[in-house]
């Protein structure tokens, strides 16, 4: 009888140890440290967290794009992404930027949430926040426009509305550390 109790206790102890080790490994996987990576392309250098990565852009003016790795599809395009574009322009910069959004206002799949002047890293810029219903569902977008050396630069963050606020900190981090040479 004592041997059966001893065997039963050993089995219970082994099961408990197994469960504790599985929980510890699972916990370690969920708490991986995120490091900061650097990407340089086309005279632009950014820093971003390692749970994001270089991805495909959908614009011809794109210099670089990064996406949250877990949101990238089979074509390499992220549902949660930051795209940096460089566009030539003529005339007054503010008019150029505003004309872009004047065209969007006529398209019912876009809704302007807010717009205005902002200062980013001691540089004047224009900020536009809008939603769109094109493609795979409703997304929210935030675009910061600024001019340097006769070129228009726009840094755009896009995400499904349900993911927008949770990932906005990455856009803010990229924006605060961007370097344009």
Task: Work out the average pLDDT over 41-48.
Answer: 95
Q: How far apart are CA 25 and CA 108, in angstroms?
A: 49
Task: Work out the average pLDDT over 62-83.
Answer: 92
Beta-carbon contacts of residue 38 (< 8 Å; ≥ 6 apart): 45, 46, 47
Least reliable range by pLDDT among 23-32, 149-158, 167-176: 23-32
Query: With 90 as the cut, is the pLDDT of residue 30 above it?
Result: no
Residue 57: its pLDDT value, please? 82
What is the tens place of the pLDDT at every residue in 80-132? 999 999 999 999 999 999 998 988 888 989 999 999 999 988 889 999 999 99
Residue 18: its pLDDT value, please? 42
Query: With 80 as the cut, is the pLDDT of residue 55 above it?
Result: yes
Please give the CATH architecture assigned to the domain spanning 34-180. 3-Layer(aba) Sandwich (3.40)
**Could you tell me the pLDDT band of residue 76, with boundaries at 50, 70 and 90?**
confident
Where helices occur in the chain by DSSP H, the ranges are 2-30, 93-105, 161-177
β-bridge pairing 139-148 and 81-88: unpaired
């Amino acid at each position: 009888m004592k041997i059966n109790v001893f065997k039963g206790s050993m089995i219970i102890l082994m099961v408990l140890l197994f469960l504790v080790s599985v929980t510890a490994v699972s916990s370690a996987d969920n708490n991986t440290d995120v490091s900061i990576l650097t990407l340089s392309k086309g005279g632009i250098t950014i820093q971003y967290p390692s749970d994001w990565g270089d991805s495909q852009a959908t614009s011809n003016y794109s210099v670089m794009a990064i996406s949250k790795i877990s949101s990238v599809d089979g074509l390499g395009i992220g549902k949660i992404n930051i795209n940096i574009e460089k566009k030539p322009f003529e005339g007054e910069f503010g008019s150029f930027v505003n004309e872009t959004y004047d065209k969007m206002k006529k398209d019912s799949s876009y809704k302007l949430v807010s717009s205005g002047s902002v200062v980013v890293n001691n540089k004047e810029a224009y900020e536009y926040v809008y939603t769109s219903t094109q493609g795979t569902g409703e997304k929210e977008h935030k675009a910061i426009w600024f001019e340097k050396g006769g070129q228009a630069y726009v840094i755009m963050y896009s995400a499904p509305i349900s993911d927008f606020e949770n990932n906005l900190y990455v856009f803010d981090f990229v924006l605060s550390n961007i370097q344009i040479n």
